[in-house]
Chains A and B, each alone.
Chain A
Amino acid sequence: MAPSPIEELFAQYHESLLRMLYRRTGDRDRAEDIAQEVFTRALTAPPDNPRPWLFAVALNLVRDDGRRAVRQGRRLQLLKAESPDRAPAPDDELDRNEKSARVQKALSELRDIDREVLLLKAEGFDYDEIAATTGLAKGAIGTTIARARRRLVEAYRAEEKDEHVAS
């Protein structure tokens, strides 16, 4: 039996979308909820150009969800630790979690558009697709990516420095 179009979309993009959403929100449950909502919307309005469409809807939902959360007075836990305190982790796992948390924090310090462009690039989007997803002009993508990369690396280095000073 041939899979339905939505199953094809799901098989092809769900993992990538979920990963991007997790990196964007720092919360796997929330990422899964948003991904589910995105595919539900795709079911009702099948997109012509699915990848930019799915990721654009996902990023809009993240922003909307963030605004709603702020209105409700609920603080977004951008740095929700997923596992370190649930079970003792081996040293290397702990290091990875610490690094991941530092990167999440550095990402949270970027402007929305910088963060989104970086995360899309990490999922293999080319500049055309990034432009289609974010609404930026293609000519502005290089500059935005350049700035975002620099800021991310600098923010991460600052995080590391602060931790060394504190410890």
Chain B
Amino acid sequence: MSHLDEGQLHALLDGELDETEVAAAEAHLAACAECRRELAEAREFAAGADDLIEAVDLPTATRAVTRAPKAAAPRFNWRNVAWAASLVFAVGLGWMARADQFRSADTGSLAGKDAATTSVTGGPDSSGQESKQKLEQNERSLPPPAPSLADDATEPRKRSARQEAAGAAPVAAQAPIPTVVGELAQQDKPAPAQDALRALTNPATQPAEPAMGKSADAPGLVASKVSEEERAKEADRGFADAAAPASAAVPAPRESLLGRTNAFAAAPAGPAARRDGAAGGFQVTPMEGAVRILGGSIRLVDGMTPIRVQVAPGRMVPGADPGLEIVRVVYNDPPGRELWLDQQRPSEPGGDAEVHGQRATTLLPGDTLIAAGPAGSRKLRWVHQTGFRLGLTGFLPADSLRALARRVQ
């Protein structure tokens, strides 16, 4: 095979080559040092360009928020009056329920504690669906949201635009509030209409994909080639990622070079994948509990909505500090596959605690490590300047994981 040109290398990095082309390219790369150098350079340019473009974000609006153009001039319509009355009634009901809740519990965080108890007793054999329902129930049981740890400067603007677009009254934004979970309940909830439109524009798409928001449409996402059975096996083995090079976990030569660009296109996460949350030793926990474990703050992927939060002893995850609990925030990517954001607070002074002979991998702030994850997934690990250990695992090419990692805040 002749040398790979620049376009092929970038298409490979972007996950745009088909399986045959990937195999041919990787076979060539295995034997050609020059092309490997070119590939490293292409990767550098791709990451550099992504970084630069991300640096240009919309400034604060300088005038009234734009509204969707209306199909017709507004007319007086009894249906609208009924709709408005329903809304007022719903808000009133919510307000009364909230007042009632404050009477029955001293603080909003107490409600969170109740929720925590409920969800943890759901136990390791709870299905992912049940866990998700419980998480949603917990969210509903808490007071309305307020600016929180999870908030960022751009989020209110995004929410406001969405609410404007949907023509909905920003009811939640008016209420004061105390919890992180409540905030998350409001973040980037995909409107049913968005799902409908996505299905309309791409009939092959899985239903009920969550929107990822800004640049969500993570590059390189394609349809899955990994079977449910494979995922189930991997899930049963627990979180089988390793600090060892990808080649150690997945011996195929092309994976050792780049990762199976097209094989990241995995099946939508089904029950097997969800089972991992419990089978791997992870327990669903309310966001408040996770924040407490992490010492008062939690890292989230900007623009994505967590589907649940789990916690496990650090020893359950190779490479993590075995002496500290590890928190996993679980998301769905657009094709419905799970994406995990693992995090641990900084190790105690004198760190690198050893438990049962297991020792945390030594990473320094700024270091990143790419390793193979379960079922052909890939894991990016890094240490934040604050000392937090972070890991992002998903069925995505390394570059997409890096792009997502830049959105972790």
- A and B interact physically: yes
A124 adjacent to B167 (CB under 8 Å): no
Cβ-defined partner of B10 (8 Å) among A2, A51, A107, A142: A142
A127, B221: Cα distance in complex, Å? 12
A22 adjacent to B56 (CB under 8 Å): yes
A98's closest neighbor in chain B, by CB? B55
A150's closest neighbor in chain B, by CB? B45
**What band does the interface of chain A fall in when counting residues whose beta carbon is under 8 Å from B?**
35 or more
A40, B158: Cα distance in complex, Å? 21
Q: How many A-B residue pairs have CB under 8 A?
A: 164
Q: Which of A5-13, A56-64, A66-74 lies on the face that meets chain B?
A: A5-13
B48 adjacent to A153 (CB under 8 Å): yes
Q: Which of B1-49 contact A (CB under 8 A)?
A: 5-11, 14, 16, 42, 45-46, 48-49
B66 adjacent to A35 (CB under 8 Å): yes
Q: Which of A1-38 contact B (CB under 8 A)?
A: 1-12, 14-16, 18-19, 22-23, 28-29, 32, 35-36
A15, B197: Cα distance in complex, Å? 16
**If the complex has contacts A99-B55, A124-B219, are A7 and B9 also in contact, measured as CB distance less than 8 A?**
no
Cβ-defined partner of A103 (8 Å) among B55, B158, B167, B198: B55
The interface residues of chain B lying within 8 Å CB-to-CB of A36 are: 66, 69
**If the complex has contacts A7-B68, A43-B69, are A14 and B48 also in contact, measured as CB distance less than 8 A?**
no
A156, B52: Cα distance in complex, Å? 8
A146 adjacent to B6 (CB under 8 Å): yes
B197 adjacent to A6 (CB under 8 Å): no
A12 adjacent to B7 (CB under 8 Å): no
B161 adjacent to A100 (CB under 8 Å): no
Does A65 have its Cβ within 8 Å of any Cβ on chain B? no
Contact with B along A88-116 (1 / 0, CB 8 A): 00000000100110011011000000000
B71 adjacent to A43 (CB under 8 Å): yes
B6 adjacent to A10 (CB under 8 Å): no
A42's closest neighbor in chain B, by CB? B69
A118, B161: Cα distance in complex, Å? 25
The interface residues of chain B lying within 8 Å CB-to-CB of A142 are: 6-8, 10-11, 14, 16
A8, B10: Cα distance in complex, Å? 33
Cβ-defined partner of B62 (8 Å) among A16, A28, A153: A28
A126, B201: Cα distance in complex, Å? 15
**If the complex has contacts A142-B8, A153-B48, are A6 and B53 also in contact, measured as CB distance less than 8 A?**
no
A106, B45: Cα distance in complex, Å? 14
The interface residues of chain A lying within 8 Å CB-to-CB of B5 are: 143
A1 adjacent to B79 (CB under 8 Å): yes
Q: Which of B149-193 contact A (CB under 8 A)?
A: 158, 161-162, 165-167, 191, 193
Does A55 have its Cβ within 8 Å of any Cβ on chain B? no
The interface residues of chain B lying within 8 Å CB-to-CB of A4 are: 71
A119 adjacent to B197 (CB under 8 Å): no
A39 adjacent to B58 (CB under 8 Å): no
The interface residues of chain A lying within 8 Å CB-to-CB of B68 are: 6-7, 9-11, 14, 39
Does B366 have its Cβ within 8 Å of any Cβ on chain A? no
A100 adjacent to B55 (CB under 8 Å): yes
A43, B72: Cα distance in complex, Å? 10
The interface residues of chain A lying within 8 Å CB-to-CB of B10 are: 142-143, 145-146, 149
**If the complex has contacts A127-B11, A147-B6, are A19 and B57 also in contact, measured as CB distance less than 8 A?**
yes
A152 adjacent to B52 (CB under 8 Å): yes
Distance between B157 CB and nearest chain A CB, rounded to angstroms: 9
The interface residues of chain B lying within 8 Å CB-to-CB of A149 are: 10, 42, 45-46, 48-49
**If the complex has contacts A83-B59, A146-B7, are A124 and B216 also in contact, measured as CB distance less than 8 A?**
yes
The interface residues of chain A lying within 8 Å CB-to-CB of B354 are: none
Distance between B50 CB and nearest chain A CB, rounded to angstroms: 7
Distance between A58 CB and nearest chain B CB, rounded to angstroms: 14
Does B230 have its Cβ within 8 Å of any Cβ on chain A? no
Does A122 have its Cβ within 8 Å of any Cβ on chain B? yes
A148 adjacent to B197 (CB under 8 Å): no
The interface residues of chain B lying within 8 Å CB-to-CB of A35 are: 66
Q: Which of B39-97 contact A (CB under 8 A)?
A: 42, 45-46, 48-50, 52-63, 66, 68-69, 71, 79, 83
Cβ-defined partner of B14 (8 Å) among A2, A11, A145, A152: A145
**If the complex has contacts A36-B66, A40-B69, are A127 and B194 also in contact, measured as CB distance less than 8 A?**
no
A104 adjacent to B9 (CB under 8 Å): no
The interface residues of chain B lying within 8 Å CB-to-CB of A10 are: 68-69, 165
- In the assembled complex, 14 residue pairs joining A and B whose CB atoms fall closer than 8 Å, in A order, are A11-B165, A18-B58, A28-B62, A40-B69, A49-B201, A50-B201, A99-B55, A103-B52, A124-B217, A124-B218, A124-B219, A142-B7, A142-B10, A149-B10
Given contacts A1-B79, A49-B201, A100-B55, could you give 18 more A-B pairs where the C-beta distance is less than 8 Å?
A9-B68, A11-B68, A11-B191, A15-B158, A15-B162, A23-B53, A23-B56, A39-B69, A51-B201, A83-B60, A103-B55, A107-B53, A121-B14, A121-B219, A122-B54, A126-B219, A142-B8, A146-B7
Closest 9 CB pairs between A and B? A124-B217, A143-B7, A142-B7, A10-B68, A142-B11, A82-B59, A149-B49, A146-B6, A146-B10
